[in-house]
Amino acid sequence: MMRWFDRLAWAARNMKWTLTLCACCLLAIGLAFVYGASFVSEETQVRPFFQKQIVWAVIGLLIYITAAAFDYRTLCRLSWAFYLFALALLVIVLAMGVERYGARRWLAVGGFSIQPSEFAKPALVLALAAMLNRAGEDLGAAGVLCRVLGVAVLPMLLILKEPDLGTVIIFVPIVAAMLFAAGAPRRTLLSLTAIGLIAASVVLAIVIVPEKAGMSEDDQARILKLAGMSPYQKKRIMTFLDPGRDPLGAGWNKLQSEIAVGSGGIFGKGFMKGDQNTLGFLPRSVAPTDFIFSVIAEETGFAGSAAVLMLFAVLLMSGLNVAASAADKQGRLLCTGVAAMIFGHVFINIAMTIGLAPITGLPLPLVSYGGSSVLSTMAGLGLIQSVYLRSRRR
């Protein structure tokens, strides 16, 4: 036991503090704005969202330091256990999960809900790091590529079944970035890019063509079901393409988010003084989660929004710097995968809040309300710290 505490103390003394400080600042910003976005009245100041987020932040920090204290090479040797456990959770959630908004994505654990798809992302990063490290120079071989894609596609299919298209999209930059970092041939990367573009075109065709052709709602629903999509996802995509088609329904959150961001000005309206948030135009069910950046932009303006983006930029650059100085290829792959995971979330969430992408339900890492997101992100950052600590021992 003392040896384990010594390891934790060593990790705390020698860690990359830039990474730690950025993560803590983002967690603190998230707590402040989750509190503000879920505030109702003086009589009920401390809301359940805020209370639970404090618990998740503390647990996340413990996971962060624990992951940093473990040797990442040991964790990679156990990667298949983590991967299979994540797959098991994804199967369980389909069978026994809690259904909300037409999707079965959550498991009830005590008074909390966990989202298994969030844990599948760091599990996939570990599995791919171990697999690509063993592949060596054979990355151009069809067999190796098929195995890599198979490992990635299996959880993607299970998550798509929930359905959760937004989380599935995040797997794409993770796989692409790790293949690039592993030294995959250019033709392989170009082929995968072409496949991705074709898949995106097919999704758009499935969403748009049946409606334009005048097919009945039932026939459209059957086509969507065959493609693993739901009418709710179709509505989100169509609302993005034509925001004015349902401004009081499916397009409401998108329009109110854009108003919030645009009305913040340079320095914002002040903490908890944003009209879109405090008056409920941006619904309290989504303000602390998917649209937390909209709340930040309205209340702190361009200056506050830029500060948050700068923290993410420093966080990501720190992760990539650790990747560049990693002691081995496996460490480089781990850092690259985690950085791609966080970047994908940040890019899509912010693009969504300013109207440049369809609403996907993806949280802003460490800032949005959501325990599973906080835990998976802190676990990933802990892996980066583990790589950094072992590189310093060389």
Higher pLDDT, 192 or 294: 294
Asked if residue 317 belongs to a domain, the reply is yes
Nearest to 258 by CA among 235, 279, 282, 233: 282
Q: What percent of the chain has pLDDT over 90?
A: 53
Is the per-residue pLDDT at 369 higher than 90?
yes
Nearest to 165 by CA among 204, 138, 221: 204
Q: What is the mean pLDDT of the chain?
A: 87
Is the per-residue pLDDT at 295 higher than 80?
yes
Higher pLDDT, 84 or 282: 84
Strands laid side by side in the 112-114 sheet = 98-100, 103-109, 112-114
Taking residues 211-239, report their average pLDDT: 74
Of 67-81, 196-210, 261-275, the poorest mean pLDDT is in 196-210
Taking residues 165-188, report their average pLDDT: 91
3-state SS string for the chain = CHHHHHHHHHHHHHCCHHHHHHHHHHHHHHHHHHHHHCCCCHHHCCCHHHHHHHHHHHHHHHHHHHHHHCCHHHHHHCHHHHHHHHHHHHHHHHHHCEEECCEEEEEEECCEEECHHHHHHHHHHHHHHHHHHHHCCCCCCHHHHHHHHHHHHHHHHHHHCCCCHHHHHHHHHHHHHHHHHHCCCHHHHHHHHHHHHHHHHHHHHHHHHHHHCCCCHHHHHHHHHHCCCCHHHHHHHHHHHCHHHCCCCCCHHHHHHHHHHHHCCCCCCCCCCCHHHHCCCCCCCCCCCCCHHHHHHHHHHHHHHHHHHHHHHHHHHHHHHHHHCCCCHHHHHHHHHHHHHHHHHHHHHHHHHCCCCCCCCCCCCCCCCCHHHHHHHHHHHHHHHHHHHHHHCC
* Residue 78 confidence (pLDDT): 95
pLDDT interval class at 40 (50, 70, 90): low
Is the per-residue pLDDT at 34 higher than 60?
yes
* Residue 59 confidence (pLDDT): 96
Query: In DSSP terms, which residues pair with 113 in a beta bridge?
Result: 108
Higher pLDDT, 222 or 331: 331
Question: Which residue is it, tokens 């596609």?
Answer: 153
197 backbone dihedrals φ, ψ, rounded to 5°: -65, -40
Using alpha carbons only, how large is the chain's radius of gyration in Å?
A: 21
* Residue 4 confidence (pLDDT): 65
Asked if residue 10 belongs to a domain, the reply is no
* Residue 385 confidence (pLDDT): 96
| Displacement of CA 316 from its chain's centroid (Å) | 14
* Residue 46 confidence (pLDDT): 54
Asked if residue 5 belongs to a domain, the reply is no
* Residue 135 confidence (pLDDT): 76
* Residue 263 confidence (pLDDT): 92
Asked if residue 1 belongs to a domain, the reply is no
Taking residues 119-135, report their average pLDDT: 94
Query: In DSSP terms, which residues pair with 104 in a beta bridge?
Result: 99
Is the per-residue pLDDT at 108 higher than 90?
no
Higher pLDDT, 215 or 159: 159
Taking residues 72-87, report their average pLDDT: 95
Is the per-residue pLDDT at 45 higher than 60?
no
Taking residues 47-65, report their average pLDDT: 91
pLDDT interval class at 196 (50, 70, 90): confident
How many domains does the structure of the chain reveal? 1
Is the per-residue pLDDT at 169 higher than 80?
yes
Is the per-residue pLDDT at 44 higher than 60?
no
* C-alpha distance from residue 201 to each of 173, 269, 384 (Å): 18, 41, 35
Domain that includes residue 164, residue range: 15-392
CB atoms within 10 A of CB 228: 15
* Residue 393 confidence (pLDDT): 66
* Residue 261 confidence (pLDDT): 93
Asked if residue 71 belongs to a domain, the reply is yes
* Residue 223 confidence (pLDDT): 76
* Residue 121 confidence (pLDDT): 97
pLDDT interval class at 41 (50, 70, 90): low
* Residue 131 confidence (pLDDT): 93
Question: Which residue is it, tokens 């000005």?
Answer: 265
Taking residues 288-301, report their average pLDDT: 94
Tell me the residue type at 172.
V
pLDDT, tens digit, 9 for 90 and up, residues 272-293: 888 888 888 888 778 888 999 9
